[in-house]
Amino acid sequence: MHELGIVFHIIESVEEVATQNNIHRVSGVTLQLGEVSGILHDYLSDCWRWACDKNDLMRGAELTIEEIPAITYCEACGRQYPTVEHGRTCPNCGSGDTYLIQGDEIMIKEIAVPDEDECAKIS
């Protein structure tokens, strides 16, 4: 279950941002997950709740997951297509000369702080 390791990494990143910005409590984190990242949302959410309950900064913080669709680019015809639906073979020209251009990433989009309207954003 690599989801727990990912959660620990996210929490460490949030702790760094919190320290840099004098934040003492986090109410939520928005995470962008690629459609083919290999991360299981349910496991990630379970690990999130477990790990946050053990961390004063993160206790009770909500996790919001936004899925980034997987898109593949075809070198042969120069077109893009949905990866999950068509795999590695281009549905437009039949070429296998393709590569993933998005959909396997894991990024923290926002860190929400209680009683504040603003979110710290990591780019």
- The series of mean pLDDT values per 10 residues for the chain, 123 residues long, is 89 96 95 95 96 96 97 98 97 97 96 68 42
Binding residue numbers for Zn(2+): 74, 77, 90, 93
Tokens standing for residue 89: 């073979």
DSSP 3-state assignment of 123? coil
Binding residue numbers for Ni(2+): 2
pLDDT for 117: 42
Reported as half-sphere exposure (CB side, CA atoms, 13 A), residue 42 has a value of: 0
pLDDT for 2: 85
* Interatomic CA distance for residues 112 and 110, integer angstroms: 6
- Distances in Å between the Cα of 110 and the Cα atoms of 13, 17, 101, 104, 122 are 12, 11, 23, 19, 7
What is the CATH T-level fold of the domain 3-114, as seen in this structure? hypothetical protein PF0899 fold (3.30.2320)
Binding residue numbers: 2, 74, 77, 90, 93
